[in-house]
Amino acid sequence: MRKFGIIGNPLGHSFSPGYFNEKFLNEHIDAVYEKHELKNIADLPELLDKEEFLCGLNVTIPYKEKVMEYLDYVSPEARSVGAVNVIKVTHTNDIGAVKELKSKVTGKKTYYTEGYNSDVFGFINSMRPLLMSYHKKALILGTGGASKAINYSLRQLGLETVFVSRTVRDNMITYSQITPEMMQEYLVIVNCTPCGMAPHYDECPDIPYDTLTSRHILYDLIYNPDETLFLKKGKEQGAMTKNGLEMLLLQADESWRLWNK
């Protein structure tokens, strides 16, 4: 039986096990998808050594960036993004075969790991149908691994981007620096923070919602709940809103393609 899974911490909220295990059942695929809650990303090599039938992993908070240094290969796109959320694992007992994959294998290591980013594929294909000619600038709320993929994706779609952080950081603005004038220029706003995620339904990013218009797009990577307070406040002002479920489904399918290519 082939094995797949997800690494991160915590993983109680993860959508992926249910999605993939249902897919395997419905499509009669002899595989299982499991959670691997790692206390430290340095535990990844031990997991790979132990799980000889493990063929692929998804990566979530807080390891999308840190995992890159543990991989044999990182795709140019994932390297440009600065984050990996898909790992393809090739196991073999033939150390020569691993070397043919250009792995930097040493000692008893008999696996080769490749890192990719399927968030880019998921977000671009979810966001593109919403964009109009006047959507030229975007605010990215949050600075974690997911926000890097969103920034890369928005730039691929031709938009200028600005990161918004809770703290003062280089090349970013804080929430208090978002002015009404800026809101009229930055018509796409993407929430890449966990603010508003279940069970914190009463929380939302601190932006001036009263300046939103029908020309704005509010996109939330959160999918539980279906409508966060961020999206609800946007909808009340007439903005177009979308949660992260479609992106999640698209990136999951892209993960499956990458594991099987």
Concerning whether 64 is annotated as a catalytic residue, the answer is yes
Per-residue pLDDT tens, the chain, 261 aa: give them.
999 999 999 998 788 999 999 999 999 999 999 999 999 999 999 999 999 899 999 999 899 999 999 999 999 999 999 999 999 999 876 555 555 655 455 556 778 999 999 999 999 999 999 999 999 999 999 998 789 999 999 999 999 999 999 999 898 999 999 999 999 999 999 999 999 998 899 999 999 999 999 999 999 999 989 999 999 999 999 999 999 999 999 999 999 999 998
- Which one, of 130, 150, 128, lies nearest residue 138 by Cα? 150
Interatomic CA distance for residues 94 and 43, integer angstroms: 24
Best CA proximity match to 103, nearest among 89, 116, 117: 89
Annotated catalytic residue, options 35, 39, 50, 64: 64
Task: Show the tokens assigned to 165.
Answer: 């952080």
Give the closest residue to 8 by CA, choosing from 33, 32, 38, 34.
38
| pTM to 2 decimal places | 0.89
86's tokens? 């898909």
